[in-house]
Amino acid sequence: MNHDTYSDQYIRGILNTVKTIAMVGVSPKENRPSYFAFKYLLDRGYRVIPVNPGHAGKDILGQKVHARLADIPEPVDMVDIFRASQFAAAVVDEALALVPKPQVIWMQLGIRDDAAAARAEAAGVKVIMNRCPKIEYGRLSSEISWIGVNSRTLSSKRARLLGKGVQRMALDRQTTSGGPDEASARAGRENKDTV
């Protein structure tokens, strides 16, 4: 499989099929990307099981944290790896030792190990690397397409302002002082001019 690009159909098929996800490396800290992804997937109805040896026995969002994949008392459909690339091979090997094996091994953004992926695929497990299931779910469900993320490229650069006649989200927002802000007022005037 070409791991530089994945079809939407392939990713959608995985996200529609898996129900139980073991997230390895999830953090209980609310400002960490792994926490955001964990919460998002829980909110979308997935059973997400946290795996982090430093927090084993504690809870993250009401879900018991396990030290290792082997400690999870139920089968998992997908192992989501939130560890650096140099740790991915060990997590993949641990996942492949599970009975039954997971259907999917998913390596988060920036995480790639082609040799580990080849071992998993040889064992009949689907692999995705350098992607985030939270982002992919949002993109494919159109939850985040309306804010420009559906471009398949994420950036920290501020988006360009669009010209006259473009509808924007929350044009009726209020300032903290209770009145409409300048941008809302200007957009309202522009909308009246184009109608």
pLDDT digits (tens, 9 = 90+) for 65-97: 999 999 999 999 999 999 999 999 999 999 999
pLDDT at 187 over 90: no
Note if the pTM is more than 0.75.
no
pLDDT for position 143: 72
- Residue ranges and CATH numbers for the domains of the chain are 8-151 (3.40.50.720), 162-195 (no CATH)
pLDDT digits (tens, 9 = 90+) for 104-138: 999 999 999 999 999 999 999 999 999 999 999 98
Q: How crowded is residue 36: how many other Cβ atoms within 10 Å of its Cβ? A: 14
Q: What is the mean pLDDT of residues 125-152?
A: 77
pLDDT at 156 over 90: no
Q: What is the mean pLDDT of residues 162-178?
A: 36
Q: Which residues contact 101 (CB under 8 A, 6 or more apart)?
A: 95, 123, 124, 125
pLDDT for position 148: 47
pLDDT for position 52: 96
pLDDT for position 181: 47
Where helices occur in the chain by DSSP H, the ranges are: 8-17, 33-43, 85-96, 114-122, 133-140, 182-194
pLDDT digits (tens, 9 = 90+) for 20-73: 999 999 999 999 999 999 999 999 999 999 999 999 999 999 999 999 999 999
- Residues 6 and 128: their CA atoms lie apart, in Å, by 8
Contact 53, 68 (CB under 8 A): yes
